[in-house]
Amino acid sequence: MNMKVLLDYDSCHGHQMCAIAAPDVFGSDEIGNAKVLITGEIPVELHTKVRRAESNCPERAITIIE
């Protein structure tokens, strides 16, 4: 199964809950807003964490494409 993530940078306000849930996929930029670390295919072993990142974002800024 293929998976990619899209981040809506305008909606992100830096809660960092994605980076807590999936630190291999989401990080922090200079001001603490989210940064996508894997822009291509997400490895299968990280899919569960990415789903948690999506379902923990208070701003609903993450979209998973499968």
Partner 1 sequence: MTDTQKPVTDITTDYDIFAPDFVKNPYPGYTEIRESQCPIAHTERYEGSWLPTRYDDVVAIAQEYETFTSRQILVMPPAAGRTEGPYAAVGAPPITSDPPDHHWHRRLILPVFAPQAVAQYEPGTRDLCNALIDEFIDKGVADAASDYAQHIPVRVISKMLGVPLTMEDEFTDWVRGALENITDAERRIKSFRSIVEYFIGEVQSRAANPREDDFITQLMNTEVEGKKVPIEYVLGVCNLMLVAGIDTTWSAIGSCLWHMAQHPEHRKQLRENPDLWPTAVEELLRVYAPVTMARIVDHDIEFQGCPMKAGDRVLMAFPAANRDPRQFENPDEVILDRQNNRHVAFGSGIHRCAGSNLARLELRVALQTWLERIPEFELIDPTSVTWAGGQVHGPRKCMVKF
Give 43's DSSP letter. P
Nearest to partner 1 of 30, 41 (CB atom): 30
Instruction: Provide, rounded to whole angstroms, the least separation between the CB of residue 21 and partner 1.
Output: 7
User: How far is C-alpha 49 from the geometric centre of its chain's CA atoms?
Assistant: 9
Contact with partner 1 (CB under 8 A): which of 2, 13, 39, 63? Answer: 13
Q: Which two tokens stand for residue 62?
A: 């993450």
* Residues from 22 through 51 that contact partner 1 (CB under 8 A): 28-32
The backbone region for 48, taken as left when phi is positive above 0, alpha when psi lies in -120 to 50, beta otherwise, is alpha
Positions touching partner 1 (CB under 8 A) are 13-17, 19-21, 28-32, 52, 55-60
